[in-house]
Copies of this chain bind each other. A is one copy, B any other.
């Protein structure tokens, strides 16, 4: 009998990124917070798209990017997310399936189109995301395949999924199924503005004891805990979750599990082009290491290697052979 288990099942918003170069003046004129993700409606998506420059379309979505990184690192990954029956939905399905990710969420017919995020990249490589959630916000509990969730040793969820109510319910359901099956649940806080929108909900989720692994960056963990500085925030959060991973951009990353603490510096990058997907790929590298039973420090380093690759080019999906990069460094 073949092993049908998955190392990680990622659940998130299925989004095609529309990436355009811009400058600080454009962000200022549009009143956009650099580095943040904001949700926009169809009218605003049309208006902003009309004002921005030529784009390139590359599949994205936080958990989808993580699934892509996992697959490219040799892990068995699955993805759950909602696309529509349109060209961008076809693009999304192609891109995620073509790298061996199990993606079986039924397509949604008619109506609201596949989600897209207008990603504005400034010369400092920061990305400012304007996301029209479209079909992604219609991911229902019914779209979950309970057997698939049970087959996954880790279920990984993005905080962005908390924004619309329908997928939030699907996420809660996936957590319950995973826990009942004795599998682990991982969660990322996604974005500091997302934490501001849902601080109470996120804190309640963590303190319900249903999360095994929590991913955050510096701004998110400080915002979540309300602590004054990084170390205090890490110390406070680490007490509330079995395994905490916090990334600090160019300052590397730290993992805390009970009394154990590991940290790594960032991997050097020749030219940082577009920071979109850095956190997603860090999570991919870390979870791939964890799936291979590697020690915390090595898993962090795999995260750093994957993040460094994705910020060296436009788009949030890896282009180089991540596995070869990891093998060259860690063997």
Q: Are A319 and B59 in contact (CB under 8 A)?
A: no
User: Quick check: is A58 within 8 A (CB to CB) of the other chain?
Assistant: yes
CB<8 Å pairs between A and B, sample of 11: A18-B91, A49-B94, A50-B98, A54-B59, A54-B68, A54-B98, A54-B317, A55-B91, A57-B57, A57-B58, A57-B91
Q: Are B50 and A94 in contact (CB under 8 A)?
A: yes
A21 to B318, CA, bound (A): 12
Q: Are B113 and A54 in contact (CB under 8 A)?
A: no
Q: Are A53 and B99 in contact (CB under 8 A)?
A: yes
Besides the contacts A49-B94, A87-B87, A87-B114, what 19 more A-B pairs have beta carbons closer than 8 Å?
Answer: A21-B319, A50-B94, A52-B98, A53-B98, A54-B59, A54-B68, A54-B94, A54-B95, A54-B96, A54-B317, A55-B91, A56-B57, A57-B57, A57-B58, A57-B91, A86-B86, A86-B87, A87-B88, A87-B113
User: Quick check: is A315 within 8 A (CB to CB) of the other chain?
Assistant: yes
Q: Which residue of B lies closest to A20 (CB)?
A: B98
Contact string against B for A residues 301-331, beta-carbon threshold 8 Å, 1 for contact and 0 otherwise: 0000000000000010101000000000000
Closest 3 CB pairs of A and B: A57-B57, A54-B95, A87-B87
